[in-house]
């Protein structure tokens, strides 16, 4: 088994095929989308492949150390940040191919007009534990 992070971006991913902001969908389309995402997570729990899923608020702040005895420096939020993460799902699957397959299914979530969004998701492998048997 190997863990993968499926990353969803507010900004920074290539443009989706069906790229309409959610508030321009019909309420029924919004509901269908939310239902699809919920069902997807439930199904992965059922197959024993779900680890975690979280959504992030769009406002972020950059912070760095500014020396002994000084408060940390903050910067942002930046309206123009090129890359902005919206949320993630962590899955634990048998193969890279399975991770791609699931990301593809998640990207097929229905959007405007009830058609799949074809949203671009980023698939990132977790760093694994070093092997116990090395010879």
Partner 1 sequence: MDEALLRALAPTVISVLVRRGADFAAAEDAVQDALVEAVRVWPEEPPRDPKGWLVTVAWRKFLDAARADASRRHREVRVEGEPVPGPGEAVDDTLQLYFLCAHPSLTPASAVALTLRAVGGLSTRQIARAYLVPEATMAQRISRAKRTVSGVRFNQPGDVATVLRVLYLVFNEGYSGDVDLSGEAIRLTRQLAARIRHEEVAGLLALMLLHHARRTARTCPDGRLVPLAEQDRALWDTRLIAEGVDVLQAALARDRLGEFQAQAAIAALHADAQTAEETDWVQIVEWYDELVHLTDSPVARLNRAVAVGEADGPRAGLAALAELDPDLPRYTAVAAYLHERDGDPVTAARLYAEAARSAPSLPERDHLTRQAARLNSAAHRG
Q: Which residues bind partner 1 (CB under 8 A)?
A: 21-27, 29-31, 34-35, 38, 55, 57-59
Nearer to partner 1, 30 or 108 (CB): 30
Least separation in angstroms between residue 57's CB and partner 1 is 7
Nearer to partner 1, 100 or 112 (CB): 112
Among 44, 132, 55, 133, smallest CA distance to 94 is for 44
| Beta-carbon-side half-sphere exposure of residue 100 (alpha carbons within 13 Å) | 3
Least separation in angstroms between residue 8's CB and partner 1 is 13
Residues 41/46/47/51 CA torsion (nearest 10 deg): 50
**101 phi/psi in degrees, rounded to 5:** -60, -45
Nearer to partner 1, 42 or 95 (CB): 42
Nearer to partner 1, 29 or 49 (CB): 29
Least separation in angstroms between residue 31's CB and partner 1 is 7
Gyration radius from the chain CA atoms: 18
């Amino acid at each position: 088994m190997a863990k993968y992070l499926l990353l969803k971006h507010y900004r920074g991913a290539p443009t989706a095929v069906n790229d309409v902001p959610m508030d321009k969908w019909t309420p029924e389309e919004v509901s269908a989308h939310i239902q699809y995402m919920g069902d997807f997570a439930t199904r992965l729990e059922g197959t024993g492949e779900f680890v975690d899923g979280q959504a992030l608020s769009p406002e972020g702040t950059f912070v760095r150390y500014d020396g002994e005895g000084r408060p940390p420096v903050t910067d942002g939020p930046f309206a123009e940040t090129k890359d902005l993460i919206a949320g993630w799902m962590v899955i634990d699957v048998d193969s890279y191919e399975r991770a791609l397959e699931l990301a593809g299914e998640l990207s097929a979530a229905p959007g405007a007009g009830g058609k799949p969004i074809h949203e671009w998701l980023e698939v990132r492998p977790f760093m694994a534990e070093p092997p116990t048997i090395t010879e």
